Amino acid sequence: MKCVIIPVTPFQQNCSILVCESTLCAAIVDPGGDLPRLRAGIEELGVKLEKVFLTHAHLDHCAAADHVRREFGVPIEGPHHEDEFWLDQLAEATRRTGFPPAEPFLPNRWLSDGDMVTFGDQTLEVLHCPGHTPGHVVFFHRGVQLALVGDVIFQGSIGRTDFPRGDHATLIRSIREKLWPLGDDVTFVPGHGPVSTFGKERLTNPFVADKRFR
């Protein structure tokens, strides 16, 4: 499996296209906007889009998801149902921020901790990692040691917790109890900014480095 990152929206959100190289099927993670750019990326890769995966329901991660679902005839999987209240606010959120219009929608499948999602010949594990939002999930591909973490953690930082139903202590627990056990060698794609590894963040991230908790 390979991962192609396409930054979208004025927030430069990392939308990822996951490609199953044996079947040329694909899944798109967090299509927050810029649908023409995403369409062009899919066409350039020569893949068949099979699913949409959502880490959480903030507009820069999901505002184009229903448009993708309707255009490509594919299901949306994720996030956890605790983020439904964010999806309910999508129309107002896009108006308020100047995003292209998007209406509230529901995924075809809510996800819970321990679920699996699939496309092509690939399987990713689902980890419920609340804190940034209550329904945030992370997708982990054990075979290639890759995690799609949304806004849980970034290179050198962590997700904001000042939004409704965000919680700093819960976010720290999610990172230390759900992500660190996956292994230091895991590369992660954050919702914004450059990729990193869990090992590097355990050493250097000022919010969650191991030395903070000794």
Question: What global pTM score does this model have?
Answer: 0.98
Q: What is the pLDDT of residues 24-52, one digit of tens each?
A: 999 999 999 999 999 999 999 999 999 99
The mean pLDDT value for 145-151 works out to 98
Interval 148-154 mean pLDDT: 98
What is the predicted pLDDT for the residue at 76? 98
pLDDT digits (tens, 9 = 90+) for 38-94: 999 999 999 999 999 999 999 999 999 999 999 999 999 999 999 999 999 999 999
The secondary structure of the chain as a DSSP string is -EEEEEEETTTTEEEEEEEETTTTEEEEE---S-HHHHHHHHHHHT-EEEEEE-S---HHHHTTHHHHHHHHT--EE---GGGHHHHHTHHHHHHHHTPPP------SB---TT-EEEETTEEEEEEE--SSSTT-EEEEETTTTEEEEETSEETTEE----STT--HHHHHHIIIIIIGGG-TT-EEEESBS--EEHHHHHHH-TTT-GGGG-
Mean pLDDT (the chain) is 97
Q: Is the domain defined by 2-213 classed in CATH 3.60.15.10?
A: yes
pLDDT in tens, 158-201: 999 999 999 999 999 999 999 999 999 999 999 999 999 999 99
Q: What is the pLDDT of residue 214?
A: 84
Check residue 204 and give its pLDDT. 97
Residue 126 pLDDT > 90, yes or no?
Answer: yes
pLDDT at 212: 92
**pLDDT-derived band of residue 119, with 50, 70 and 90 as boundaries?**
very high
The predicted model gives 94-109 an average pLDDT of 95
